[in-house]
Amino acid sequence: MTRNRPRIVVVGAGFAGHQAAKTLSRQLRDNAEIVLLNPTDYFLYLPLLPQVAAGILEPRRVTVSLPGTLPRVRLVLGEADRVDLAARRVHYTGPEDDKGELEYDRLVLAVGSVNKLLPVPGVAEHAHGFRGLPEALYLRDHVTRQIELAAATGDPDECAARCTFVVVGAGYTGTEVAAQGKMFTDALVRRQRAWRHAGHKPRWLLLDIAPRVLPELDRRLSRTADTVLRGRGVDVRTGTSVKEATREGVLLDDGEFVDTRTVVWCVGVRPDPLVSEVGLPVERGRLLVEPTLNVPGHPEVFACGDAAAVPDLTRPGEFTPMTAQHAARQGKVAGRNVAASLGYGEQQRYKHNDLGFVVDLGGVKAAANPLGVHLSGPVAGAVTRGYHLAAMPGNRIRVAADWLLDAVLPRQAVQLGLVRSWSVPLDTASPELARVPGGRGRAEQSEPDG
Predicted pLDDT at 450: 34
**What pLDDT does residue 413 have?**
82
Residue 2 pLDDT > 70: no
Whole-model pTM: value is 0.92
pLDDT value at position 199?
62
Nearest of 131, 104, 67 to residue 268 by alpha carbon: 131
Residue 231, C-beta contacts closer than 8 angstroms, at least 6 positions apart = none
pLDDT digit string (tens) for 192-222? 766 655 567 899 999 999 999 999 889 999 9
pLDDT (0 to 100) of residue 1 = 47
Q: What was the pLDDT predicted at 446?
A: 36
Residue 172 CA: distances (Å) to CA of 66, 197, 324, 368: 26, 36, 11, 12
Rounded Cα distance between 68 and 234, Å, is 40
What proportion of the chain, given as a percentage, has pLDDT over 70? Answer: 95
**At CA 399, angle to CA 412 and CA 269, rounded to 5?**
90
The residue-averaged pLDDT of 410-425 equals: 88
Yes or no: say if 11 and 108 are a contact pair by the CB < 8 Å rule: yes
**Model confidence pLDDT, tens digit, residues 217-258:** 899 999 999 999 999 999 999 999 999 999 999 999 999 999
Q: Are 15 and 324 in contact (CB under 8 A)?
A: yes
Mean pLDDT computed over every residue of the chain: 92
Q: Is the dihedral of CA 349, 217, 130, 184 positive or negative?
A: negative
pLDDT tens, residue by residue, 369-378: 998 899 999 9
| pLDDT of 198 | 58
Closest by alpha carbon to 73, among 42, 40, 139, 29? Answer: 29
What is the tens place of the pLDDT at every residue in 52-64?
A: 999 999 999 999 9
